[in-house]
Structure formats: structure tokens, C-alpha cells
Amino acid sequence: MRINHWNNQPVDSAIVLLTEEDSQNLSRLSLPEQLTEIIPSLVARKDFTGKKGSLLRVPMAEGTLYLSGLGKAAKCTVNVVRDALAEGLRSAGKNRAKSAYVPLAHIACEGLDVALGEAAGLCDYVFDKYKTKDEDYTPFALDEIFTDIEGDFARGLVYAECQKFSRNLANEPGCAIYPEILAKKAQAVAEESGLVCEVWDEEKLKAEKMGALLAVGSGSKNPPHLIHLTYKPANPKKKVAFVGKGITFDSGGLDLKPDNFMLTMKGDKTGACNVLAIMKGVAELKPDVEVHGFMTCAENMPSGSAYKPDDIITARNGKTIEINNTDAEGRLVLSDALCVASELKPDVIIDMATLTGACMVALGKWRAGLFSNDDGLAGKLLAVSEGRGESFWRMPLEDEHIAESLKSPYADLVNCGERYGGAIFAALFLKEFVSEGIAWAHMDIAGVDHYDKESGVYAKGMSAFGVRTCLEYVMEA
């Protein structure tokens, strides 16, 4: 997608975003002549009122006009604008428009340039590579946008490309992607973008005492892998490590999930896919920060070789874990990876994981959980995520009762507690594997991982939620 400055170039669509107030006071807007006539009449007939989420498609003699509602002006944030843009651009592109004029100068919000880049980059996303395309199939046509504001459109476009890259991996089914394939994808990204990539296969994982990752992977014919990508600029002002859960399919293991809970569990690798996408973006955006990306990958399957309830395993830092539920596997693969990340002595570790159904119950499907041992880091991540339209809610990481339930009668820890407070239990479990003195944040993205239907910048399927927040975080660090 290209975004250029509007110079009266001919276009085959125009996407005009209006608040409810704008639609009543059109004289204030400076729109091209063709539009100043038609819009007032559409508003007068109440075909368009500016309601949030509304989209009116108006075929005209030359080209098509799209009116996208922003709702009440007082509530019109850049996040509302991004979604309204994505809806308008998506509709234009699906309806064979190749170019669009998108005036934005009349909107009083900060950060419209990056938001336009994001919406432009994400509007065409659908995961349909496995669908046979019949004669009626019309590919998304839009590839050029003209706007009346100046700014940094490239940054938002890179954020969007990275998010789509992660979605493309996360949406692939378990038969197509397993740990070894993720390792190959990571190596390909590293080669293209000049990152360093180190892969630990099963043998190396044994030598490195990665007992928790090995246990989770032991039930599958596809062995586990740990992938480590590195971006090192000349004089970094900070060292940040990302760690992503990469369960390429989560059947639950011997504690098998019921059928309806197993669906979408191909997406249990989103954390790892996000980390790869973030590293790809970092290689392109070149921040002044040393960035490490760890993808901790396994397939959680039941079999004769699978790890079992009652097993006691030893993680890399020597802590022993009694397994009381093989479906609480994410915290296990993360535990070993958090140890390896801690050994690099980074200033910051951020892990991302589709970790608990409990987080989804607590916060719903449109907000992720954020846990942190550091108020500064948590505050920064909340601020950055707000600007990107990815909403997080800070959850508690202090709880003496839940902490007590981490204790095992036979080992140092159990991997699973009671149902209540399950997201906090998981976060407290992870904390056991992060070295003292490192600012650490844990993102539980289970709830937001999968979209049932397309909306705003999201398409049906895996969302790759968190990629834009993390990229912005390293750019602002």
C-alpha cells in the first residue's frame, strides 16, 4: 500500500470520516467540490448521521464515496479513527477501488499519520490462502491512498506488515506449522533482515537442561525447539528481551481438552509468532535498543511418551515442578525460556502468551491482561498500548493466598492451582523464573487472540494482538 499527498490526482474512491457533529456542520470541512454537494443531502435525508461504526457506500458518476461514522466528537480518539478508516478502506478495496482519497485534516486527533498507516496496512488482511478461488473471486484492489495531512505513514505501515506477518503464521493450522517449521521461518527472517538466529533442537535442549520445555513437547512426534533471535545496534541504550509462548497446537495433553475448547488452539503459538514479527519489525525500524526475541515452541499432545499428571520435572534454574495439569503447559515452556532470557541480564523482559482462559473470563475478548513487577514498565506499556488501540488492563502480581497455592508437597512448585484467580496464579508461577532486578512484564493475550468476525483493523481469525504495542515500546524506549 502506498500513501501519498493529495494533489487533485484522479481517484476511484473517497473515504470521508465524520463525527455526528461534523455531519451537522459541514461548512467547516474543506472537501473537494464533488463531495460538498452530495454529503449534505445524504445527511439531510438521514442516510448518514455520523454514528460510530456506520458505513455508507454511495456509488457516484465517477468513483464511489464512503462515509464512515466516528460517533460523538468528544469520544473520538485516534483509535476510533483507525477503526473507521479500516472499515472504509476495506470496503473500498473489496469493491474494486484501486485508489482512495482520504481527507483527515478536519479531524482533531494526535497521531493520525501512524494510525492511517496501520489502517491502510491492515485493511486488506484475510486468511484465505487455502480457499479455492472461483470465477467470482475479486482480489482486494486498493493499493494507493492520497491524504491531505503530512506525517510518518511508513511507521504505521511497518507495524501493520509485522502484525499481518504474525497473523499469517498464527492462522496456519497445526498440520502446517510445528516447532521445527517455526524455527525455519525464524531462520528465514533472520537471513532476510540481518538478525542473528540460534535454534536449540531437542538434543541441545537436553544438554541445556530445558526440562520444562522438553516435558511439554514429549508427547508429540514433532519435537520442541527454542529459537533465539538477536538485534544488536552499535551503541544500544537499553537491552530488551521478548519471550513468546509457541504452542503450535494445544490439545491439553493427557488432560485432554473437550472438543469445543480445542478449536482455535492452533493459535496458542501467537506469542511466539508475535515475537518473530516484532524482531522483523525491529530489524526494519532499527531502534537504538538491543533486542532479543525468544520463541519457546512445542506441541502439547497426549501419547505414550507424553508428560503425565503427577510427574515431577526440573526447569532450567533447578526448580522442581509437580505437574497437576498437563493443560497448564504454557507457563512451563515459558519458565525455561524466561531463565535463558534472564541469563542475558536484560534491563527488561516482556513475555507474551495465550496463557489462561481465566484472563479471558476476567477481562473479556477485547482486553489483554498485563502483569508487571515494575510500575515504570507497566505505566509505559499501558501508555504506549493506549496509543496503538490495543487495550491492556493491569492485573495484580501480589497475592499471598494464591502465592501459597504455588507450593507443592513433593516439589518446589505445582504448575496449576484452583480455578479462581487462574491468571494471577500463572503470572506468579512465571515470576519464579525471572531473575531478581529485571523489570518484567507478562502479557496474557488468551482473550484477545481470536476474532470471531472482522471488525476495525481486525479480520476473522488470529489477531496478533500486542505486536504494535511492543514495536512502539522499543521505538520509544
Q: Give the helix ranges, DSSP H, for 71-220.
A: 78-94, 112-122, 153-171, 179-193, 202-207, 211-217
Residue 422 binds to ligand BES (criterion: CB under 6 A): yes
Q: Which does 309 bind (CB under 5 to 8 A by kind): Mn ion, ligand BES, Zn ion, none?
A: none
Nearest residue to 455 via CA among 2, 22, 17, 52: 52
Residue 322 binds to ligand BES (criterion: CB under 6 A): no
357, 393, 405, 454: residue in contact with ligand BES (rule CB under 6 A): 357
Nearest residue to 359 via CA among 328, 384, 388, 401: 328
Residue 22 binds to ligand BES (criterion: CB under 6 A): no
Residues 232-261 that bind Zn ion (CB under 5 A): 247, 250
Rounded CA-CA distance 205/332 in Å is 14
- Partners of 300 in the β-ladder: 250
Residue 250 binds to Mn ion (criterion: CB under 5 A): yes
The residues near 301 (Cβ < 8 Å, ≥ 6 apart) are 219, 220, 249, 251, 253
**Closest distance to ligand BES from the beta carbon of 407 (Å):** 16
Residue 309 binds to ligand BES (criterion: CB under 6 A): no
Rounded CA-CA distance 333/271 in Å is 12
Catalytic residue among 57, 209, 257, 308: 257
- Partners of 442 in the β-ladder: 351, 371
Stretch that binds ligand BES, among 68-76, 82-90, 159-167, 323-331 (CB under 6 A): 323-331
User: Could you confirm whether 280 is annotated as catalytic?
Assistant: no
**Closest distance to ligand BES from the beta carbon of 219 (Å):** 14
Catalytic residue among 266, 280, 331, 468: 331
**Packing angle between helix 153-171 and helix 467-476, nearest 10 degrees?**
140
User: Could you confirm whether 269 is annotated as catalytic?
Assistant: no
Q: For residues 112 and 243, which CB has a smaller minimum distance to ligand BES in the complex?
A: 243
255, 327, 449, 472: residue in contact with Mn ion (rule CB under 5 A): 327
In the chain, count H helices and then E strands.
16, 19
Q: Which three cell numbers stand for residue 191?
A: 537471513
- Where do contacts with Zn ion occur on this chain (CB under 5 A)? 247, 250, 268, 330
- Where do contacts with ligand BES occur on this chain (CB under 6 A)? 250, 268, 325, 327-330, 354-358, 360, 416, 422, 446, 449
- Where do contacts with Mn ion occur on this chain (CB under 5 A)? 250, 327, 329
Q: List, by residue number, the catalytic residues.
A: 257, 331
